[in-house]
Structure 1
Amino acid sequence: MDRIDTMKAFVAVAEAGSFTKAGEKLELSNQLVSKYVSQLEEQLGVRLFNRTTRNVRLTQEGEQCLQHALHILESVDDMENHFGQLQAAAKGQLHISAPVSFATQYLGPLVRDFKKAYPDVGVNLELSDRKVDVVEEGFDVALRIGHLKDSSLIAKRVAPVRLVLCAAPSYLDQHGVPEHPEDLIGSHFLRYSYMEYAPLSNPLMKVLRAHSQNNPNGIIANNGDILVSAAVAGEGYILQPTFIVSEPLKSGQLSIILKDYEPEPMGLYAVYPHRKLLAPKLRAFIDFMSSYFGDPPYWDQF
């Protein structure tokens, strides 16, 4: 039985002093109101009313319960009004910048579900792995992945992003499974051109940074999917977020190596210009996205 309904019935009886009048107010039968109150008494383990044939009076416990119930119902009303107003007020076009690989794999369902919840909000989604200027280029919000540095922008963490070093079984059969970052072959590093190598206190990140600076014969790309395809083909090893390599890991096309040297997770952030006076469409999107992927996110289930 719904606890909110039981509290509403209890408050109505307390205010009306009658089960019959409370039922008329709530448009419920006298029997159902009595059932709700009895259920609440059973849940709390106390008697809330002293009942006689002529009147209904609150017990001492009932007086205390009434104050709590009024406070809870007021909070519920405030919450419903807040989100009801937000949904009604959220309208207009939302201009979003997002990384290519992440957006193509994971933003489609989110945008569709968001549109169902907020049909009056239009979505203009631009995909790019470069770091856009949110203010100068007119974006409402940009999704960014990494360890964000101090800036004048506001950043809301949406999900953790785990980085793993991977290689195909065929590559490992040919070149061996490395036991230490120093065992990695520099020319076989399939490098993402926008990769950040902090923190350099991590031995793996130190080695990969050196390989990225002294690797004229390697493969470099500004798109993670291209590098994943090369790694699956046995061309070398990659350091990529799990949201890109989760499917190849599940299928066995790639294997995680040097797990003991895995760098600390990065984050997926929603970056926007101002904390105060957020447009309802932007606040709705950020709130909607904040719990959408889970923590840990569902792509880490491999």
Structure 2
Amino acid sequence: MDRLEAMRAFVAVVTEGSFSQAATSLNLSPQLVSKYVSQLEKHIAVRLLNRTTRKVNLTEAGTEYFQHAQQILLSIDEMDQQLSGLQQNPSGTLKISAPVSFALKHLGSLITDFQSHHPNVNIDLQLSDRKVDIIKEGFDIALRIGQLKSSSLIAKYVAPIRLILSASPGYLNKYGTPLVAEDLKHHRYLHYSYSEMAHKDGIYQWLKTKNLDSRAGLSSNNGDVLIAAAIAGAGLALQPTFIASEAISNGQLIPVLTEHSPEPFGLYAVYAHRKLLPNKVRCFIDFIDGYFGNPPHWDKTILDHIR
């Protein structure tokens, strides 16, 4: 048994959803694909797939094996590409999805620098805070913020995304600075109301578990709006440092209760697993790796506040 070929056949069946579609993608017969998968299961003495006449489903062991096999095959393909010189002179249009606020503040310079190194690559940057379906909607890469769930997509960690609670000096002078979490019940809270971050919002969830109601505030699905409102004295805002750091650095906002800040999220570059990753995608993934620094440049001026 060619173990790598059997592994490729198994991954293709899971990715394509059936033996026949996997056979088409691999340019093999369905019988040979089925034989490869059966040999693989026999070799490791574990059932990976539950087969019916209409579809196949992963077993618990198959789910774990699929994730490891996918990464192994991706590493092999990437090595082959690099050694064969396929990284040279990327070209074409690279379609990227990115969160609105992050893109407005931090992607302009990255894309400019990337295109200075790869002038034959055109960038089609689409801004949206919703989680796009990169395959159905034709994106090469999606930048996402959050704690990603396992999927058939490949996620490259780019940078930490830290949240910080802050308010304007004028607001704190008027209403007082909260010193312990219970003090938040006396304050106006500017709540982010969209996507995963809203559900992981540590301060807001803490209030709910303690049955404490902050005073009537503002809800918005855009962090820039909430930070602008906080600067104007509307209340306390818990937002990523990539949005709030400038206002904190120039004294427009003051961090509070930093010991209660939620665990950092991650910024990820997400892309579909392909047997031969296009040059333009691989070059962008390599370019963004480490681009923002460690810690990211937006955190460097406020490190004392977020430790």
TM-score range normalised by the length of the shorter chain:
0.5 to 0.7
> 1:9-24 residue pairs with structure 2 within 5 A?
none
Match in the other structure for 2:106: 106
CA–CA distance in 2 between the matches of 1:212 and 1:99?
32
Q: Once the two structures are superposed, what CA deviation does each residue of 1:6-27 show, in whole Å capped at 9, x if it has no partner?
A: xxxxxxxxxxxxxxxxxxxxxx
Per-residue deviation, 1:137: 1.1
Report the more deviating stretch, 178-187 or 108-117: 178-187
Task: Say which SS state the counterpart of residue 86 (structure 1) adopts.
Answer: coil
CA–CA distance in 1 between the matches of 2:288 and 2:140?
14
1:297 counterpart = 2:305: no
Q: Once the two structures are superposed, what CA deviation does each residue of 1:210-253 show, in whole Å capped at 9, x if it has no partner?
A: 69997794311111111110000110111111000111000000
Q: Once the two structures are superposed, what CA deviation does each residue of 1:11-58 show, in whole Å capped at 9, x if it has no partner?
A: xxxxxxxxxxxxxxxxxxxxxxxxxxxxxxxxxxxxxxxxxxxxxxxx
Contact 2:162–2:241 (CA under 8 A) maintained in structure 1? yes
Task: Identify unmatched segments of 5+ residues in structure 1.
Answer: 1-77
TM-score (norm 2): 0.66
Q: Once the two structures are superposed, what CA deviation does each residue of 1:83-129 show, in whole Å capped at 9, x if it has no partner?
A: 964132x1110000001111011100100110011111110000111
Distance 1:251 1:274, change over 3 A: same
Match in the other structure for 2:238: 239
Per-residue deviation, 1:206: 2.7
Give the counterpart letter for 1:285 in structure 2. F
Task: Say which SS state the counterpart of residue 155 (structure 1) adopts.
Answer: strand
Contact 1:98–1:143 (CA under 8 A) maintained in structure 2? yes
Match in the other structure for 2:156: 156
Distance 1:228 1:126, change over 3 A: same
Percent of residue pairs identical: 52
Which has more radius of gyration? 1
Per-residue deviation, 1:173: 1.0
Contact 2:192–2:198 (CA under 8 A) maintained in structure 1? no
Per-residue deviation, 1:169: 1.0
> 1:133-282 residue pairs with structure 2 within 5 A?
133-185=133-185, 188-194=188-194, 196=197, 204=203, 206-208=205-207, 217-274=216-273, 276-282=275-281
Contact 1:154–1:275 (CA under 8 A) maintained in structure 2? no
TM-score (norm 1): 0.67
Per-residue deviation, 1:135: 1.3
Give the counterpart letter for 2:105 in structure 1. Q
Alignment root-mean-square deviation, CA: 2.8
Contact 1:189–1:211 (CA under 8 A) maintained in structure 2? no
Contact 2:217–2:235 (CA under 8 A) maintained in structure 1? no
Per-residue deviation, 1:139: 0.7
Distance 1:135 1:177, change over 3 A: same
Contact 1:87–1:118 (CA under 8 A) maintained in structure 2? no
Per-residue deviation, 1:196: 2.6
The count of residues paired between Structure 1 and Structure 2 equals 221
Distance 1:128 1:199, change over 3 A: closer
